[in-house]
A and B are shown apart, each in its own frame.
Chain A
Amino acid sequence: MTEPLVMARALVKRFGNFVAVDHIDFDVLPGEAFGFLGPNGAGKSSTMRMIGATSPRSGGELRVLGVEPDDYGPQVRARLGVVPQEDNLDTELSVSDNLYVYGRYFGIPRRQLRQRVAELLDFAQLAERAGDRVNDLSGGMKRRLTIARSLVNQPELLLLDEPTTGLDPQARHLLWDRLHRLKRSGVTLLVTTHYMEEAEQLCDRLVVMDRGRIAAMGSPRQLIERYVSREVVELRFDDEEAPAMASLVNGLAPHTEALADRLLLYTEDGDLTAQAVARRGLKPTNVLVRRASLEDVFLRLTGRQLVD
């Protein structure tokens, strides 16, 4: 079996009395895209920082690229790429100098670096903006520059913390395209996200995190099959509170969830269930039949929604 690039056993991170990461176990295998899905505060970023050797662990075992990140910080970081949640580009430097200077931090020789910077500017579609100041870039461009910067040392493992948060759909799709391209070229991706669409798009395997613990692990398809049904019927109600309606749909689906404004009916055949709802004389303002998503998995596992 191939050695995992990241191996965590009973990993713990505490800040004072607060337990941010609470005894989690997982392996990340070479070449895969591995995701941490969960709401804000679930412990995703703390886990990422421990893997990235910028935060010492409070307990348990952690190996990154075969070694302890706490003992071999510089050596581990030399082989990682990190895209932080918040852009921390060097605003005093131009776009291309950001890449150049970052490469120098990795000890890349100047001549080699100049060529690398040109390649990365192309990859990030920022060649025309090479001389501009970072603050003049749009949010999507800054994000692409941050990703390009994380690749300057040709990392084996790329850590992406909420890579597309705050971006418009077009910018997000462009980023996903770049990440798919990297994955095809053999880079292992580790992604945290609170967007289920992103997790479904990017991740081969993922863990659902909630309150510092791992609630479930598997591929997006496996998780949906294991925890929810194939399809979902969403009933939206206008005046009455949806929870009050919950008893009226009893027996129509193997599992139902009542949210503030709608009922979710988990079923194998959405159209059949929708017809049964109509036969019962219920009059929701809107009926939507859709495929189940990771959002439903999260709701099922935690009783809460992923994004409010």
Chain B
Amino acid sequence: MSSPAPRVGVTVASPRFARPAALVGRNLMVQKAVPYVWATGLVEPVFYLLSIGVGIGHLVGKMPGPNGAEVPYAAFVAPALLASSAMNGAVYECTTNIFDKLHWAKIYRGVVATPLTPRDIAVAEVASAVVRSALYSAAFLVAMAVLSGTRSPWALLALPCAVLVGLAFAACGFMSACYMRSWTDFDKVMLVQMPLFLFSATFYPLSVFPRWLQLLVEAAPLYQGVAACRELCLGQPSWDIIGHLAYLAALAGAAMAISTRRATKLLTP
């Protein structure tokens, strides 16, 4: 039998970016082992697009687009589904998973004993969720082009935009997981996520709401993604997009900062 003969002097240097990358590698390894989890995230938005965009689209007909010109309902709703599925995927990926690893599986207790810091863990988990959400979004964009007849080259820019939505919500998901005490707390996440999905001008234009509700929706995070993706996918970009993206980036940054603080408290008491 061989003895590992550990000797003094083996100092493993790991550059800053390499530390979270090792945990992202771990997550990919686990996901490769359960391929069906990949399928759900792809299939869900496509089902929405078929049932609501194409199905209800037959009854609804046309909708006013961002610049007022009428567009087919499927083309109107598809970019919103792109943004919402980026949100749903990221939140799902981050909250339940992270809570489990934090409190039940205690995986992170082992991880913080290595050179990785709680910040590295937050970065890695959010990055893993973003990678996954980006793959879903890319696949959905293809499905969208086929099913709703999206043709504008601007639509390609909807991908990074959806990735930013994924980033912002993954960071928010990690943050909420850090504050949860039990599984029932997930109902509170649903309580936020569900209205965001339904009311962020996802299925009809903002103009149907009374003014006060419009203001509320315009201040909500998912609306930024829906509005930006819609303008890009319909080939009608405006300068507003810059504002939407800045909002999402700021949300991501704030959520990451809070996540890091909270995770540090939890994991290195």
Within 8 Å by CB of A187, from B6, B14, B105, B109, lies B6
Stretch of B20-28, B135-143, B163-171, B201-209 at the chain-chain interface: B20-28
Interchain nearest-CB distance for A130 vs B (Å): 15
B267 nearest CB across to chain A (Å): 7
Contact A182 B13 (CB under 8 A): no
Whether the Cβ atoms of B113 and A74 lie closer than 8 Å is no
Once the chains bind, are B6 and A151 in contact (CB under 8 Å)? yes
In the assembled complex, which residues on chain A have CB atoms less than 8 Å from the CB atom of B12?
Answer: 78, 106-108, 153
| Known contacts A93-B30, A101-B26, A156-B8, A106 near B115 by CB under 8 Å | yes
Q: Which of B5, B23, B113 has the most CB of A within 10 A?
A: B113
Is B39 part of the binding interface, using a Cβ–Cβ cutoff of 8 Å?
A: no
Cross-chain contact A154 with B115 (CB below 8 angstroms): no
Across-interface contacts of B6 in A (CB, < 8 A): 81, 151, 154-156, 182, 185-187
Q: Chain B's interface: helix, strand, loop or mixed, by majority? A: loop
Question: In this assembly, does B192 line the interface, its C-beta being within 8 Å of a C-beta of chain A?
Answer: no
- Closest-by-CB residue of A relative to B110 is A88
Main secondary structure of the interface of A (DSSP, over half): loop
Given A104-B22, A107-B19, A154-B4, verify A88-B106 contact (CB < 8 Å).
yes
- Are the C-beta atoms of A186 and B25 separated by less than 8 Å? no
Chain A residues within an 8 Å CB radius of B14: 74, 78, 106-107
Asked if A82 contacts B113 (CB within 8 A), the reply is yes
B23 and A105 contacting across the interface, CB-CB below 8 Å: yes
A185 CA / B26 CA spacing, docked (Å) = 31
Q: What residues of A have a CB within 8 angstroms of the CB of B2 in the complex?
A: 119, 122-123
Residues A110-138 near B (CB distance < 8 A): 116, 119-120, 122-123, 125
B4 to A123, Cβ gap below 8 A?
yes
Given contacts A104-B22, A105-B23, whether A90 and B110 have CB atoms under 8 Å apart is yes
A-chain residues with CB within 8 Å of residue B29 when the two chains form the complex: 93, 97, 101
Q: Do the beta carbons of B3 and A106 come within 8 Å of each other?
A: no
Chain B contacts for A49, CB-based, 8 A: 268-269
Report the minimal beta-carbon distance from B34 to chain A, rounded to whole angstroms. Answer: 9
Chain B residues lying within 8 Å of A102, measured Cβ to Cβ, are: 110, 114
Shortest beta-carbon distance from A5 to chain B in Å = 10
- On chain A, the residues within 8 Å of B217 by CB distance are none
- Chain B count of residues within 8 A CB distance of the other chain: 39
Whether a CB of chain B sits under 8 angstroms from the CB of A4 is no
* Given known A74-B117, A107-B19, contact A15–B4 (CB-CB < 8 A): no
A185, B22: Cα distance in complex, Å: 29
Nearest CB on B from A18, distance (A): 12
Closest B residue to A79 by beta carbon equals B11
| Contact with A107, one of B22, B105, B106 (Cβ below 8 angstroms) | B22
**Cα of A97 to Cα of B107 in the assembled complex, Å:** 14
> B3 and A88: CB pair below 8 A?
no
How far is the CB of B184 from the nearest CB of chain A, in Å?
Answer: 23
The contact of A54 among B11, B13, B23, B113, by CB within 8 Å, is B113
- Please name all residues of chain B whose beta carbon is closer than 8 Å to the beta carbon of A93 when the two chains form the complex: 26, 29-30
Cβ contact within 8 Å between A105 and B114: yes
Between B1, B105, B112, B114, the greatest number of chain A beta carbons within 10 A of the residue's beta carbon is seen for B114
A89 adjacent to chain B (CB < 8 Å): yes
**Once the chains bind, are B19 and A120 in contact (CB under 8 Å)?**
no
A52 at the interface (CB under 8 A from B): yes
Q: Is A243 an interface residue (CB 8 A)?
A: no
CB < 8 Å neighbour of A123 from B3, B7, B114, B117? B3
State whether A186 touches B8 (Cβ < 8 A).
yes
User: Is the beta-carbon distance between B3 and A181 smaller than 8 angstroms?
Assistant: yes
* A218 sits at the interface (CB 8 A): no
Residues from chain B with a CB closer than 8 A to the CB of A75 are 11, 115
Q: Say yes or no for B111: interface residue by CB 8 A criterion.
A: yes
Chain A CB within 8 A of B18 CB: yes
B241 to chain A: which residues have CB within 8 Å?
A: none
10 residue pairs, one from A and one from B, having the closest CB atoms: A107-B14, A105-B114, A154-B6, A74-B115, A82-B113, A104-B22, A88-B110, A88-B106, A88-B109, A154-B10
Which residue numbers of A lie inside 8 Å of B, CB to CB?
15, 30, 49, 52, 54-56, 73-75, 77-82, 84, 86, 88-93, 97, 101-102, 104-108, 116, 119-120, 122-123, 125, 149, 151, 153-156, 181-182, 185-187
Task: Please name 4 further chain A to chain B contacts, defined as beta carbons within 8 Å, in addition to the given A73-B117, A78-B11, sorted by A numbering.
Answer: A88-B105, A88-B107, A102-B110, A154-B10
17 of the cross-chain contacts (CB-CB < 8 Å) are A54-B113, A55-B268, A78-B11, A78-B12, A78-B114, A79-B10, A93-B30, A101-B26, A104-B26, A105-B22, A105-B23, A107-B115, A122-B1, A153-B10, A156-B6, A185-B4, A186-B6
